[in-house]
Structure 1
Amino acid sequence: MTATILICIAIAVIVILGVRSYMKRVSSGCCGSGGGTVKKIRVPDKDKSHYPYRKVLWIDGMVCGNCAANVENALNSLDGVWAKVNLTEKKAEVLMKKPFDDEILKLSVKDSGYTVFRIDES
């Protein structure tokens, strides 16, 4: 009898925490961003001829425009990188002034909360 009561209490706590988490997510806007949009980091040099290196990163976990902006900002904060994210295709085209190791690009995306599952060289 005591075990049944403890199990019911545990289930009730889990349900309450789940509902609270869901309500917080719904009320705070997309991806918990507070309902606003993410301000994009602007790349000062937009001359494509200055970026001889190119990679395409395939990214998991992006669901909205704020997610895409977060990934773009993470990559664009790297010196000599100009990234554009395509949310529909779940990929980022990364133009670079110098070669970057794949792990640096992956870590930058990972630190923003997303996962790179493939990198194509071009």
Structure 2
Amino acid sequence: MAIIIIFIVIAVIVFFGIRNYRKNMVSGCCGSESDAAPWKIRVQDRNLSHYPYKKVLKIDGMTCWNCVIHVQNSLNSLDGVFSKVDLNKKSAKVYMKEEISDQLLRKVVSRVGYTVMSISEI
């Protein structure tokens, strides 16, 4: 009887492990089961010489490539902004045609669920 109970417990653990793994493969660790992986917002002007203002944001909470896309999309949705997000450094380089306040940058990133720890100018 004890062997059957142990087998059932192991089967339940394996079931939930496989389900969680499958969810992560489909939508990433920060996505939900009903959401598809996000698409990148493409910036038309990628010439960095057109962006005189530059800042580096240190961002807390990014754990996967979906996180990177969420943060990058939120920043790139601002008018006149081109951003590059680095998961390993947990930072974003933000290139701006017009200077944008630190407060607005923090607000845009926090809307998608991440925290800007510091902002410095390049």
TM-score bracket for this pair, using the shorter chain length: 0.7 to 0.9
Within 5 Å, give how 1:22-101 maps onto structure 2: 26-29=21-24, 30=28, 31-34=30-33, 36-101=36-101
The alignment partner of 1:28 has SS state of helix
TM-aligned CA distance change 1:105 to 1:25, over 3 Å: farther
Q: Is the 8 A contact 2:31 2:66 kept in 1?
A: no
Q: CA shift at 1:25, angstroms? A: 5.5
Q: CA shift at 1:38, angstroms? A: 1.7
- The CA RMSD over aligned residues, in Å, is 2.1
| CA–CA distance in structure 2, aligned partners of residues 49 and 67 of structure 1 | 27
Q: CA shift at 1:23, angstroms? A: 8.6
| CA–CA distance in structure 2, aligned partners of residues 102 and 26 of structure 1 | 37
| CA–CA distance in structure 2, aligned partners of residues 55 and 96 of structure 1 | 8
| CA–CA distance in structure 2, aligned partners of residues 57 and 24 of structure 1 | 35
Q: CA shift at 1:37, angstroms? A: 2.9
Q: Name the amino acid aligned to 1:52.
A: P
Q: CA shift at 1:101, angstroms? A: 0.3
CA deviations on 1:53-86 (whole Å, 9 max, x unpaired) are: 0000000000000000000000000000000000
Q: Is the 8 A contact 1:59 1:117 kept in 2?
A: yes
Q: Name the amino acid aligned to 2:95.
A: L
**TM-score of the pair, normalised by structure 1:** 0.76
TM-aligned CA distance change 1:59 to 1:24, over 3 Å: farther
Q: CA shift at 1:115, angstroms? A: 0.3
How many pairs align? 102
